[in-house]
Amino acid sequence: MMNHATTELFFDDLEVPADALVGEEGKGFRYLIDGLNAERILIAAECVGDGRWFIDRATRYAKERVVFGRPIGQNQGIQFPIARAHVNVEAADLMRFRAAALFDRGEACGAEANMAKLLAADASWEAANVTVQTYGGFGFAEEYDVERKFRETRLYQVAPISTNLILAYVAEHVLGLPRSY
């Protein structure tokens, strides 16, 4: 779906000199997690951009495409899903900025980074579906780029962290529920 190929890489008996240590010994996983928060905020921003791209395309097409003598965008059945997707993308954008502000201040932002990624991935996926539906048959045509972006934005339900694992994080670390895995 993404021209995605995987390659395995093995390191056997690799020795690293002590002066190559990053930070303090034993805290590596914490440093890694902090880096992942930045990635989640970045991906949330990407999803917000994707979502806006879809909504822009869907809106324009809904104005241009005339069926039964009127633009399809004059029908609430077409308008409302686009409007709802827009609302959800803009809401996700607020959480993305909240997470980014915390990160920039060097404060804990695990919950916000995860929530931003989940909200933005859901919103862009919703916008993608709405756009394919608005385009009808042309939603599947290569030349409009909608089907390509639809495939690309599906990725963010899975990577860089799957939606289920974000929910597991929020359940355990934000709500204090027992660890499920």
Ligand X SMILES: Cc1cc2nc3c(=O)[nH]c(=O)nc-3n(C[C@H](O)[C@H](O)[C@H](O)COP(=O)(O)OP(=O)(O)OC[C@H]3O[C@@H](n4cnc5c(N)ncnc54)[C@H](O)[C@@H]3O)c2cc1C
**Residue 89 beta carbon to ligand X: minimum distance, rounded to whole angstroms:** 22
The nearest distance, CB 84 to ligand X, in angstroms, is: 25
Q: Which amino acid is at 77?
A: G
CA distance 29 to 106: 17
Compute the least distance from the CB of residue 163 to ligand X, in Å: 6
Quote the least distance from Cβ 6 to ligand X, whole Å.
Answer: 8
Nearer to ligand X, 72 or 121 (CB): 121
Cβ 31 to ligand X, closest distance in Å?
A: 15
What tokens does 66 get?
């005339």
Considering the complex, state which of residue 158 and residue 177 has its C-beta at the smaller distance from ligand X.
158
Check: CB of residue 134 under 8 Å from CB of residue 78. yes
112: number of Cβ within 10 Å = 24
The token pair at 36 is 């992942």
Structure tokens at 172: 């355990």
Encoded tokens for 108:
């804990």
**Looking at beta carbons only, is 93 or 122 nearer to ligand X?**
122
171 Cβ partners below 8 Å, 6+ apart?
177, 180
Cα gap 16→34, rounded to integer Å: 23
Q: How many CB atoms lie within 10 A of CB 105?
A: 9
| Residue nearest ligand X by beta-carbon distance | 162
Name the residues that contact ligand X, by CB under 6 A.
2, 4, 155, 158-162, 164-165, 168, 181
